[in-house]
Amino acid sequence: MTKPIPGFSKLSKEQKIDRIASQYTKNPDRTREVLRNYWNTDKKLQKLHDEFIENTITNLYLPLGIAPGFLINSKPYAIPMAIEESSVVAAASKAAKFWFDKGGFKAEVLGTEKVGQVHFIYKGDVDKLKKFIETITPKFRSDTETLTQNMSKRGGGISTIQLRDQTEKLHNYYQLHCTFETMDAMGANFINSCLEQLAATLKREALEYVEFSDIEKEIEVVMSILSNYVPNCLVRAEVSCPVNELRIPSEISPKDFARKMVRAIEIAKIEPYRAVTHNKGIMNGIDAVILATGNDFRAVEAGIHAYASKNGSYGSLTHAEIENDIFRFWIEIPLALGTVGGLTKLHPLVKLNLEILGKPTAMELMQIVAVAGLAQNFAAVSSLVTTGIQKGHMKMHLLNILNQLEANDEEKKTLTKHFKARVVTHNGVLNALETLRNG
């Protein structure tokens, strides 16, 4: 059993590596070699990466790909995607190509409101509390002016401050439910700073409020924190075309294809087991762009999955319909994103990816991300209702299998050609490689 490493955070990077290698791995020399192989050769750049988080020992790289050929609101895009999963970039590119000559993708932002809350306990008369909050609201505004002045100049700031009575859910529990506009910043630090000041004002003013009894003055602030659930920070993306234009490389007719697509979405709306996998595919596209642009994919994931449950059960994030012989396919999701601040100004590749996207505003990035998710879902569901998902996915996975089997370049070339018209399976590739090597 290994022992804890006291003072680990105070060790140098070399010392951290030595401790981890010797205490937690069977081959310390090999461990050191692997970790150092992934250091950036540019020492200045490596130092920048080291300072992003704590206790860094190396870098874990993800492939950065480009999905070209997107047409969004009549503007062409090549979308950067950072992801390790085979077929995601190819599928997005295929969907982009399919819809390009049908008018492309249409996207619009429906709202940009973000949320934060001060959670507190109050043991007193609720009517007194309501009057108190109304009385000190101007103080809330004035006490946060130094925090909001720069954001206000850009058109943002604190939009609303509301008291919410949650005592039916938890005894003596109340909230200050606040909404914010953060413009091109994701705004987490801004929101949290404002909330902590609101909490301080709440406690201070309660102690001085003459209409409160002694017990009512003792408001207990439990926590002050932004919410990653932003149901009013919404974006919609969609595609549409006449049903007879839905021609895909398959024996299925456009009419049957459209009908199957709609039915597949209906199933994902009512069946959580299907909906989770359905939405995971959507997040393949969304997370890849979120990562590539330096945004917080964990926050986005949490908010989107909560939104998928807003009607009381977990269901599809996408929708499809046929009306007047027009096939329409769309997505509506909450996205709190930023194009300034955080990694967007620090990570060289993030800055480059945003440049490739035309230096979008936060609202424009919301639209691009929603389109990436919709494209991914169209490609996945299209495969499911026609050839099946494995045919295309395993084709893209072929190189991973060959690398696992340590095939050389000539073997990869031969077997890639061999499997062009065959179903790819791990055993199939293994047998074909053994046959090739045995002549």
Confidence check: pLDDT of 3 > 80: no
- Name every residue whose Cβ is closer than 8 Å to that of residue 47 and which is 6 or more positions away in sequence: none
Find out whether 327 and 243 touch, Cβ atoms under 8 Å: yes
Give the amino acid at 71: L
Which CATH number fits the domain that encloses residue 341?
3.90.770.10
In this structure, how many other beta carbons lie within 10 angstroms of the beta carbon of residue 239?
21
Q: How confident is the model at residue 1 (pLDDT cuts 50, 70, 90)?
A: low
Which CATH number fits the domain that encloses residue 120?
3.30.70.420
Predicted pLDDT of residue 131: 98
3-state secondary structure of 65: strand
Residue with tokens 């595609």: 239
Based on the number of CB atoms within 10 Å of its own CB, is 9 exposed (0-12), middle (13-18) or buried (19 or more)?
exposed
Predicted pLDDT of residue 401: 85
Q: How confident is the model at residue 46 (pLDDT cuts 50, 70, 90)?
A: very high
Please state, rounded to an integer, the average pLDDT across all residues of the chain. Answer: 94
In this structure, how many other beta carbons lie within 10 angstroms of the beta carbon of residue 32?
18
Q: How confident is the model at residue 368 (pLDDT cuts 50, 70, 90)?
A: very high
How far, in Å, CA of 206 to CA of 213, rounded?
Answer: 10
Predicted pLDDT of residue 224: 98
User: Which has more confidence, 357 or 393?
Assistant: 357
Residue 295 shares a structural domain with residue 350: yes
Residue 58 belongs to a domain:
no
The closest alpha carbon to 346, from 43, 51, 40, 59, belongs to: 51
Mean pLDDT of 299-307: 98
Alpha carbons within 13 angstroms on the beta-carbon side of residue 383 total 21
Reading the block at residue 114, the tokens are 């973000």
Each residue's pLDDT tens digit, 101-123 = 999 999 999 999 999 999 999 99
In this structure, how many other beta carbons lie within 10 angstroms of the beta carbon of residue 57?
18
What is the crossing angle of helices 348-356 and 272-292, to 10°?
A: 100
- Name every residue whose Cβ is closer than 8 Å to that of residue 281 and which is 6 or more positions away in sequence: 376, 377, 380
Residue 1 belongs to a domain:
no
Residue 316 shares a structural domain with residue 246: yes
Write phi, then psi, for 429 (nearest 5 degrees): -65, -40
Residues with a known catalytic role = 85, 280, 296, 393
Pair type for strands 106-109 and 157-165:
unpaired
Global confidence as pTM: 0.90
Residue 204 shares a structural domain with residue 284: no
> What are the strands of the beta sheet with 173-181, ordered from one edge?
157-165, 173-181, 114-121, 220-227
Residue 182 shares a structural domain with residue 326: no
Find out whether 48 and 259 touch, Cβ atoms under 8 Å: no
> Which one-letter DSSP state was computed for residue 345?
G
Structural domains counted in the chain = 4
Residue 62 belongs to a domain:
no
Confidence check: pLDDT of 421 > 80: no
Domain interval for residue 284: 67-108+233-387
Residue 261 shares a structural domain with residue 398: no
How far, in Å, CA of 322 to CA of 255, rounded?
Answer: 10
**C-alpha 321: how far from chain center:** 26
Reading the block at residue 198, the tokens are 């609101």
Residue 282 shares a structural domain with residue 362: yes
Residue 2 belongs to a domain:
no
Reading the block at residue 263, the tokens are 């039915």
Residue 216 belongs to a domain:
yes
Residue 83 belongs to a domain:
yes
- DSSP letters of 413-427? HHHHHHGGGS---HH
How far, in Å, CA of 67 to CA of 47, rounded?
Answer: 30
Each residue's pLDDT tens digit, 229-279 = 999 999 999 999 999 999 987 789 999 999 999 999 999 999 999 999 999
Q: How confident is the model at residue 2 (pLDDT cuts 50, 70, 90)?
A: low
Residue 257 shares a structural domain with residue 373: yes
How far, in Å, CA of 161 to CA of 202, rounded?
Answer: 12
Residue 273 shares a structural domain with residue 366: yes
Final residue of a structural domain among 187, 204, 227: 227
Percent of the chain residues topping a pLDDT of 70:
97
Find out whether 5 and 23 touch, Cβ atoms under 8 Å: yes
Percent of the chain residues topping a pLDDT of 90:
84
Pair type for strands 157-165 and 220-227:
unpaired
In this structure, how many other beta carbons lie within 10 angstroms of the beta carbon of residue 269?
21
Residue 316 shares a structural domain with residue 424: no
Residue 238 shares a structural domain with residue 382: yes
Each residue's pLDDT tens digit, 379-394 = 999 999 998 756 555 5
Predicted pLDDT of residue 292: 98
Specify which residues 321 forms β-bridges with: 328
Residue 59 belongs to a domain:
no
Q: How confident is the model at residue 405 (pLDDT cuts 50, 70, 90)?
A: confident
Residue 333 shares a structural domain with residue 281: yes
- Name every residue whose Cβ is closer than 8 Å to that of residue 191 and which is 6 or more positions away in sequence: 114, 116, 180, 182, 226
Residue 121 belongs to a domain:
yes
Find out whether 373 and 287 touch, Cβ atoms under 8 Å: no
Confidence check: pLDDT of 396 > 80: no
Rounded to whole angstroms, what are the CA distances from 254 to 326, 330, 375? 11, 18, 18
Predicted pLDDT of residue 395: 56
Mean pLDDT of 282-292: 98
Residue 364 shares a structural domain with residue 329: yes
